[in-house]
Amino acid sequence: MTYSRTMTRSKPQRSCSVCRVKSDKSDLIRVVRSPEGRAVVDIMKKLPGRGAYICPDSECIMNARKSGKLAHALGAVIDDDFWRQLEEAAGNSGTNAGLKVRSVLGLSRKSGLLIIGSDNIERERRKMLVLMACDCSEAVREFARKHECMLLDMNTAQLSEVIGTRGGVQIVGLPLNSGFAKKLISLKNERGIAI
């Protein structure tokens, strides 16, 4: 009897406030409404107050922003700082390759290693890992195929935002032997598809 009870005991589950999918509580990000009525990411999942859960998923975070569902669930004011915290928490959760890719791209841009645009990539003498936005042109795809390349799970607008430039960036490159490139390749292998 004891044995079967152990077998059927399940981890506590919660629903994501945005997509409504149930997951183990430990896999979700908890957010709470602070006493001042602001939304706060509850990293340790211990803060008191009205709380809600969200998947550590870029799509759910994007939908939460667009739909206002999280603000509604919390009855709280949500500022840009909160969204940054949330994306960071999601990036660190270890469950979402897409957010990690964003963070690697952002960091590589800050480090100055990221090369933007096919003309600049072409000028590089080193072997490059080339990353394409999912809505890039056929000409860009053709160009990318000449290199070690990956199709990103983000469009030109998203890619531009991630690397902090204005305008439609369709393609970026990183030296193939850089840590950033290696990290991206391992993320791609982890997920097994375009990232």
Cα gap 90→82, rounded to integer Å: 12
Give every CB contact of residue 27 below 8 A, 6+ residues apart in sequence.
55, 56, 93, 95
Stretch that binds Zn ion, among 52-60, 72-80, 102-110, 175-183 (CB under 5 A): 52-60
- Answer for which of 19, 47, 113, 134 binds Zn ion (CB under 5 A) is 19
- Closest distance of CB 29 from Zn ion, Å: 10
CA-based max dimension of the chain: 70
Quick one: tokens of 194? 């375009």
When CB distances to Zn ion are compared, the closest residue is 16
- Closest distance of CB 86 from Zn ion, Å: 12
Question: Do the beta carbons of residue 128 and residue 115 sit within 8 Å?
Answer: yes
Quick check: 55 binds Zn ion (CB under 5 A)?
yes
Quick check: 29 binds Zn ion (CB under 5 A)?
no
Task: Give 55 or 174: the residue with its C-beta nearer to Zn ion.
Answer: 55
- Closest distance of CB 60 from Zn ion, Å: 4
> E strands along 87-154, which residues?
115-116, 128-132, 148-151
- Closest distance of CB 63 from Zn ion, Å: 8
> Using CB under 5 A, which residues numbered 67 to 106 contact Zn ion?
none
* Pairing outcome for strands 148-151 and 128-132: parallel
- Answer for which of 29, 60, 97, 114 binds Zn ion (CB under 5 A) is 60
Quick check: 52 binds Zn ion (CB under 5 A)?
no
Cα gap 78→100, rounded to integer Å: 23
- Closest distance of CB 73 from Zn ion, Å: 12
Quick check: 115 binds Zn ion (CB under 5 A)?
no
The sign of the CA dihedral 171, 175, 176, 180 is negative
Task: Give 64 or 129: the residue with its C-beta nearer to Zn ion.
Answer: 64
> E strands along 2-84, which residues?
13-15, 22-24, 29-33, 39-41, 51-54
Q: Which residues contact Zn ion (rule: CB under 5 A)?
A: 16, 18-19, 55, 60
